């Protein structure tokens, strides 16, 4: 049995919940509260000394970093896949996923927003401006990439969701939470809406988690 260290509103945890659901892998959730700072204390640091969720435990093997967890799950449980079989399409969806994983989320996660407020003294408006700046830059890049590369279909690449969609959906959830205007990204919004109606995505949604706070 897999154990997933997760927090309901962590978008990287949300990604891994979708992956596990997609592959039909049952897991035991271990809840790590970010507001309570559980991620920076024992016992969690004994599992992941990086002090960040998510982390996955597979028997004796512990693993952190959602994108490394993704590649691990894809190699260990290749079907149902979250990567296309064609080598260029695989590269393409990894590229899209990395727009979220490397260019958007790292700038807007909770430790950064806390630092902006507490260390740099930004007020809420300035903090939200920071958030909106990087989400807009990243989503513009994502939307422009879909157009430029010209792949077609119901999802980011073809008619099956993959790792790009798995990263996109939690990022748009976050963007909405911060009141970002998503009208400039009609393609992304349509893709995410299709994904959200699928059970593996819906069952991973923050609001449906046992540690969710109303």
Closest contact distance (angstroms) between CB of 101 and a second copy is 6
Distance CA 142, CA 90 (A): 16
Q: Which is nearer to a second copy, 111 or 176 (CB)?
A: 111
Closest contact distance (angstroms) between CB of 182 and a second copy is 19
Closest contact distance (angstroms) between CB of 45 and a second copy is 9
Closest contact distance (angstroms) between CB of 86 and a second copy is 11
As given in the structure block, the two tokens for residue 140 are 């513009």
Question: Across the strands, what pairs with 25?
Answer: none
Q: Which is nearer to a second copy, 50 or 207 (CB)?
A: 50
> By the criterion CB under 8 A, which residues form the site for a second copy?
49-52, 61-65, 67-69, 71-72, 75-76, 87-88, 90-92, 94-95, 97-99, 101-103, 105-107, 112, 115, 119-120, 122, 126, 130, 133, 141, 144-145, 147-149
186 C-beta neighbours (distance < 10 Å), count: 10
Does residue 121 come out as left (phi exceeding 0), alpha (psi in the -120 to 50 range) or beta?
left
Distance CA 56, CA 3 (A): 6
Phi, psi at 35, each rounded to 5°: -60, -35
Q: Which is nearer to a second copy, 32 or 69 (CB)?
A: 69
């Amino acid at each position: 049995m897999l154990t997933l260290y997760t927090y309901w509103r962590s978008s990287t945890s949300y990604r891994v919940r979708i992956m596990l659901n997609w592959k039909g892998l049952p897991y035991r959730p271990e809840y790590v509260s970010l507001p309570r700072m559980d991620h920076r204390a024992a016992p969690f640091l004994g599992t992941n000394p990086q002090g960040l969720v998510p982390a996955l435990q597979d028997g004796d093997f512990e693993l952190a970093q959602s994108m490394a967890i993704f590649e691990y799950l894809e190699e260990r449980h290749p079907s149902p896949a979250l990567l296309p079989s064609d080598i260029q399409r695989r590269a393409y969806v990894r590229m899209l996923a990395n727009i979220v994983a490397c260019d958007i989320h790292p700038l807007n996660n909770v430790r950064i927003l806390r630092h902006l407020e507490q260390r740099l003294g930004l007020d809420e408006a300035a903090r939200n401006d920071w958030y909106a700046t990087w989400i807009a830059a990243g989503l513009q890049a994502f939307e422009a990439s879909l157009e430029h590369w010209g792949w077609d279909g119901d999802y980011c690449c073809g008619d099956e969701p993959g790792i790009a969609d798995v990263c996109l959906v939690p990022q748009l959830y976050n963007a909405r939470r911060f009141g970002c205007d998503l009208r400039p990204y009609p393609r992304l919004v349509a893709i995410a809406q299709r994904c959200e109606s699928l059970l593996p995505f819906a069952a991973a949604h923050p609001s449906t988690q046992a540690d969710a706070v109303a």
